[in-house]
A and B are shown apart, each in its own frame.
Chain A
Amino acid sequence: MTHHQVELTVNGSKVSMQVEPRQSLADALRSQLGLTGTHLGCEHGVCGACTIIVDGEPVRGCLMLGVQAEGAEVLTVEGVSPSEGLSPIQEALREHHGLQCGFCTPGMVMALHHLFTITPSPSEDEINEAISGQLCRCTGYQGIVSAAKAVAQKQRENRSHDTTVNGKENSCRSA
Chain B
Amino acid sequence: MTIGARIPRVEDERFLRGEGRYVADIAMPFMVEAYVLRSPYPHAHIRSIDASEALALDGVEAVITASDLPDDLPPIPCRIPTHGDLGPYLQYPLARDRVRYVGEPIALIIAKSRAVCEDAAELVEIDFDPLPPVVDPEAAIKPDAALVHEAGNLAGRWGFDLGAVDDALKNATYVVSEKFSIQRHTAMPLETRGLIASYDVGRNLLDIHGPTKVVHTNRNVLAAMLGMGEAEIRMVEPDVGGSFGARGEFYPEDYLIPFAAIRLRKPVRWIEDRIEHFAAINHSRESAFEVTACADAEGMITAFDVRLVTDMGAFIRTHGDVVPSHAAASFPGPYRVRNYRIDAMTVMTNKTPTGTYRAPGMFEANFARERALDRLAAKIGIDPAELRRRNLIPADMMPWHVGTESVKRPTIFDSGNFPHVFERALEAYGWDAPIEREADGWLRGRGICALVEPSGLGPFEGVRIEVDQHGYATIFSGSSNQGQGHETVLAQIASSILGLPVEKIRVRHGDTGIITFGGGTYASRTAVLGGNAVHSAAVGIRDKALKTASAKFDIPLEELSLREGEIWHGGKNEPVISLGGIARMLMPGNPEFLKPPSDMNMPDNDGLVVTSYIRGVPGGTSAFAVHMADVLVDPRTGDTRVENYFVACDIGRQLNPLIVEGQLIGGVAQGIGGTFLEELTYSEDGQLTTGTFADYMMPNVYNMPPVGTLVLEETKAPGNVLGVKGVGEIGPSGVPAAIGNAIADALKATSGLNILPLTPERVLAAASTVERP
Q: Which residues of A contact B (CB under 8 A)?
A: 1, 20, 22-23, 30, 35-44, 46-47, 49, 76-78, 81, 85-86, 90, 93-95, 97, 99-106, 109, 128, 131-145
Of A35, A101, A105, most B-chain CB atoms within 10 Å: A101
Do most interface residues of chain A lie in helix, strand or loop, or is the interface mixed? Answer: loop
A131 and B666 CA atoms in complex are apart in Å by 16
Enumerate chain B residues within 8 angstroms of A43, measured Cβ to Cβ.
273-274
Do most interface residues of chain B lie in helix, strand or loop, or is the interface mixed? Answer: loop
Contact between B190 and A137 (Cβ–Cβ < 8 Å)? Answer: yes
Q: Which residue of A lies closest to B662 (CB)?
A: A97
Q: Which residue of B lies closest to A90 (CB)?
A: B16
Contacts A101-B241, A103-B242, A131-B701 hold; do A86 and B115 have CB atoms under 8 A apart?
no
Contact between A36 and B18 (Cβ–Cβ < 8 Å)? Answer: yes
Taken residue by residue from 694 to 724, chain B's Cβ proximity to chain A (1 for < 8 Å, 0 otherwise) reads as 1000111110101100000000000000000
Residue B744 at the chain A interface, CB threshold 8 Å: no
Contact between A94 and B693 (Cβ–Cβ < 8 Å)? Answer: no
Enumerate chain B residues within 8 angstroms of A77, measured Cβ to Cβ.
17-18
B residues 220-243 touching A (CB-CB < 8 Å) = 239-242
| 9 chain-A/chain-B pairs, Cβ below 8 angstroms | A36-B22, A37-B19, A37-B20, A39-B22, A40-B24, A102-B239, A104-B190, A139-B669, A142-B665
Contact between A139 and B694 (Cβ–Cβ < 8 Å)? Answer: no
Contact between B17 and A81 (Cβ–Cβ < 8 Å)? Answer: yes
Taken residue by residue from 582 to 596, chain B's Cβ proximity to chain A (1 for < 8 Å, 0 otherwise) reads as 000000000000000
A47 and B11 CA atoms in complex are apart in Å by 23
Contact between B17 and A90 (Cβ–Cβ < 8 Å)? Answer: yes
Q: Which residues of B contact A (CB under 8 A)?
A: 8-9, 11-22, 24-25, 115, 188-192, 239-242, 244, 273-275, 482-485, 658-659, 661-662, 665-670, 692-694, 698-702, 704, 706-707
| The residue from B189, B658, B698, B706 contacting A101, defined by CB atoms under 8 A apart | B189
Q: B147: shortest Cβ distance to chain A, in Å?
A: 36
Contact between B13 and A86 (Cβ–Cβ < 8 Å)? Answer: yes
A38 and B115 CA atoms in complex are apart in Å by 19
Contact between A97 and B658 (Cβ–Cβ < 8 Å)? Answer: yes
Contact between A103 and B702 (Cβ–Cβ < 8 Å)? Answer: no
Contact between A141 and B692 (Cβ–Cβ < 8 Å)? Answer: no
Q: A168: shortest Cβ distance to chain B, in Å?
A: 31
Q: A57: shortest Cβ distance to chain B, in Å?
A: 19
Q: Which residue of A lies closest to B240 (CB)?
A: A101
Enumerate chain A residues within 8 angstroms of B658, measured Cβ to Cβ.
97
Q: Which residue of B lies closest to A142 (CB)?
A: B665
Contacts A41-B190, A42-B274, A103-B241 hold; do A128 and B17 have CB atoms under 8 A apart?
no
Q: Which residue of A lies closest to B191 (CB)?
A: A103
Q: B730: shortest Cβ distance to chain A, in Å?
A: 13
Contact between B274 and A102 (Cβ–Cβ < 8 Å)? Answer: no
A39 and B239 CA atoms in complex are apart in Å by 12
Contacts A46-B693, A106-B18, A132-B700 hold; do A101 and B483 have CB atoms under 8 A apart?
yes
Contact between A137 and B115 (Cβ–Cβ < 8 Å)? Answer: no
Q: Which residue of B lies closest to A44 (CB)?
A: B692
